[in-house]
Structure 1
């Protein structure tokens, strides 16, 4: 089993940070390591940022400049870049009174790590932040351009949500419009993720934006509408050229399987047109109710018949437990549900002693 992520940000990293800041090294390290072992990754960063605050200059502009000076110029690979996570946390928590210094620090920070977390308090508190992001959308550095999209995601994982943009994402969409033809796939993935965030609160608006961006940007639109597509939203599917009723589906399901087995599926499709097939299984829970989980099936440009094969595991995992009972199986054809049948799942056979 891989070690916890927090272990990659351990005491040795704290010591390296102390070496880059104008602080009393021993006092700084001791304060950082007090209670450090019990904290998770992001909490460790916030804790070190709080210690920075008590050990750096009391003037916010000077303190931000001290943190800025400690930021290198080379982007570290993988988790090594989380060396700068406390720097980000410091700017986000204590940099607002020093707006200009913080913007300059974030500009360089995002080149070597990311400023997507620390820019968010500024987006909520200071409207001037959007002026900087509009300018950065045309920056030569792809990491800076990505910050424009990733930092404004209304529901960015690991980060505080942006209630203003959840309520009204129009300012964000104006930024995404500047980036929708970016030459970097790295940036475009972020643009798609941002639109997908927006779709969770404003599905009709997300579809409207995707329609305006179509045709010619299929990969971007597919990423941006992926939650709606998974949910079978007809309008989202139509943007990508999927008709409502292009095919019918049939599958010969086994009568029963045991927990620990796999469920083999061979779904025969009949019809014409672009078909996006997903498989839905209604898993029985411990209390006897069911919960639907959707599995990707496949895509086909159908001209008559085609068979798409898939296997679904009923093995026990810590993240998904299986229980005996009838499990309903459905095909989702361009978002439209069609019953395939019911499979009886029985307990795992007990081996004789």
Structure 2
């Protein structure tokens, strides 16, 4: 399986060049051909940008000419899809913004919706959102009623505040309620694919505007569909892990009277690349049944001597008065390319309904 950066590669560039030659017979896409040999040192988004710029250099004329070439390639080339769609849609968006007319903007939005099912147009949509947020959101609102699930998902995914790999749209952060109508329109969608995007969008919203995310989820739960509770749980997952009181209360994790014994680690010295196992017992000492969101927090040693925390999901339990539950987990420090560990003092603690237990200390040893 390729690394993410390799998803756009020399084959992508050559496929796009062939598609352009088919759409413009007799034209040699020299920039695209050359770009196939320039991709290797670049991360994924920069690879998409390189092919976008090569396509813009190879296709003469303004927005209309580029749009005609893209539509001709779409209709004539069966393999016109996959990761080449990212640079193609980005070129369309860039050319429409450079043209500066409402007609070009609206046609670009329509072309993005048309192409999104061939991979996704979510990255290119950001360019148009940055250029004219209100005009773009007016069109996105119409997408929420599309019969095509890919287009409906584009409405939610393309407007996420923290869309992975994508450029940020500062105005979305400055106007956090601007995309709530999109989520309202789609949170009951028939497609799990669309609803998962709505949940991820809600999770993004909660990173900077927790109360708005919780209030939005609360409205949905007032008149829920059978799928709403699951969507809300996923959409508020970061707030729950962060111990946000409103998110916990909305999902039924009220403050509880508990007796927590632990966590206790099996070894106080953990080999580099190894794992630490911990156990704990939790007893409901209150008079009422307690629904518990039980997470655990690893305090990581950093290179500068400070510590950072990362919260992990453990389990959920409902305890009757005086009922006890035992929990155990083995946490791995296996070496990964996406995470770096530093030898030194670490700790683990439980977090139950947002309340953190005492820490159990351990040492991650040097390699």
What TM-score comes out, normalization by structure 2 length? 0.85
Q: How many angstroms does 1:186 deviate by?
A: 0.6
Structure 1 counterpart SS, 2:74: coil
Counterpart of 1:213 in structure 2 is 220
Q: Comparing 58-67 with 24-33, which one deviates more in the overlay?
A: 24-33
Counterpart of 1:114 in structure 2 is 120
Tell me, in whole angstroms, the C-alpha distance in 1 between the residues paired with 2:59 and 2:77. Answer: 24
Tell me, in whole angstroms, the C-alpha distance in 2 between the residues paired with 1:267 and 1:300. Answer: 14
What whole-Å deviation, never above 9, does each CA across 1:164-190 have from its counterpart, x for those lacking one?
A: 111112220011111111011110111
Gap regions ≥5 residues in structure 1 = none
Counterpart of 2:172 in structure 1 is 165
What is the CA RMSD across the aligned residues, in angstroms? 2.5
What whole-Å deviation, never above 9, does each CA across 1:130-171 have from its counterpart, x for those lacking one?
A: 222111101111000001101111121111111111111222
What whole-Å deviation, never above 9, does each CA across 1:73-115 have from its counterpart, x for those lacking one?
A: 99989xx711212212212221233123212211211121111
Call closer, same or farther: CA 1:14–1:28 in 2, change over 3 Å: same
Call closer, same or farther: CA 1:119–1:316 in 2, change over 3 Å: closer
1:277 paired with 2:277, answer no
Q: 1:295 aligns with which of 309, 312, 316?
A: 312
Tell me, in whole angstroms, the C-alpha distance in 1 between the residues paired with 2:268 and 2:275. Answer: 11
Q: How many angstroms does 1:34 deviate by?
A: 5.8
Q: How many residues of Structure 1 are paired with residues of Structure 2 in the alignment? A: 344
Counterpart of 1:323 in structure 2 is 343
Does the 8 Å contact 2:12/2:83 carry over to 1? no
Q: 1:132 aligns with which of 123, 131, 139?
A: 139
Call closer, same or farther: CA 1:73–1:194 in 2, change over 3 Å: farther
Does the 8 Å contact 1:199/1:206 carry over to 2? yes
Call closer, same or farther: CA 1:183–1:58 in 2, change over 3 Å: same
Q: Comparing 137-146 with 214-223, which one deviates more in the overlay?
A: 214-223
Counterpart of 1:258 in structure 2 is 270
Does the 8 Å contact 2:19/2:77 carry over to 1? no
Counterpart of 1:310 in structure 2 is 329
Tell me, in whole angstroms, the C-alpha distance in 2 between the residues paired with 1:333 and 1:89. Answer: 45
Q: How many angstroms does 1:276 deviate by?
A: 0.7
Q: How many angstroms does 1:70 deviate by?
A: 1.8
What whole-Å deviation, never above 9, does each CA across 1:301-334 have from its counterpart, x for those lacking one?
A: 1121111221112445552324233x33321001
What whole-Å deviation, never above 9, does each CA across 1:203-252 have from its counterpart, x for those lacking one?
A: 11111111111153111111221111111111111110101125332124
What TM-score comes out, normalization by structure 1 length? 0.88
Tell me, in whole angstroms, the C-alpha distance in 1 between the residues paired with 2:335 and 2:54. Answer: 44
Q: How many angstroms does 1:3 deviate by?
A: 4.0
Tell me, in whole angstroms, the C-alpha distance in 2 between the residues paired with 1:307 and 1:131. Answer: 52
Tell me, in whole angstroms, the C-alpha distance in 2 between the residues paired with 1:144 and 1:52. Answer: 24
Q: 2:57 aligns with which of 54, 57, 66?
A: 54
Counterpart of 1:332 in structure 2 is 351
Tell me, in whole angstroms, the C-alpha distance in 2 between the residues paired with 1:235 and 1:76. Answer: 48
Does the 8 Å contact 1:263/1:313 carry over to 2? yes
